[in-house]
Amino acid sequence: MRTVSASEAKRGFAALIDAASREPVVIQRQKRDVAVVPSIAEFERLNRLDTAEFHRVCDRIGEQAKAAGMNEIKLAELLARDY
């Protein structure tokens, strides 16, 4: 993974984009990592993983709620309560 300073990224934005198409580029400000520029393919891959993980978590929570006796009527009652 390539690392560039924020100033270098600003001066050579076209080069930054070209480099990011090959590998993620870390941008540093005052020697601290502040950003990563991935390729669009890597961004889309990570996005798909996040979406799939979100669905897995929702499914697991739904199964746990059902096992604990939760159903649509009980959920509606909980949501209608004025806390």
Is 83 a residue whose pLDDT tops 80? Answer: no
What pLDDT does 68 receive?
92
Query: pTM for this one?
Result: 0.63
What pLDDT does 5 receive?
96
Mean per-residue pLDDT, 58-64? 93
Q: What is the separation of C-alpha 69 from the centre of its chain, rounded to a whole number of angstroms?
A: 32
Is 36 a residue whose pLDDT tops 80? Answer: yes
Q: Structure tokens of 54?
A: 């979100």
Same domain, 76 and 52: yes
Q: At 28, which CATH number?
A: 3.40.1620.10
User: pLDDT confidence of 82, banded at 50, 70, 90?
Assistant: confident
Reported as type and span, the H/E element at residue 2 is strand 2-5
The answer to whether 59 and 38 are in contact (CB under 8 A) is: no
Number of structural domains the chain divides into: 2
Note the maximum CA span of the chain.
60
Same domain, 53 and 74: yes
Percent of the chain surpassing pLDDT 70: 100
Distance CA 35, CA 65 (A): 38
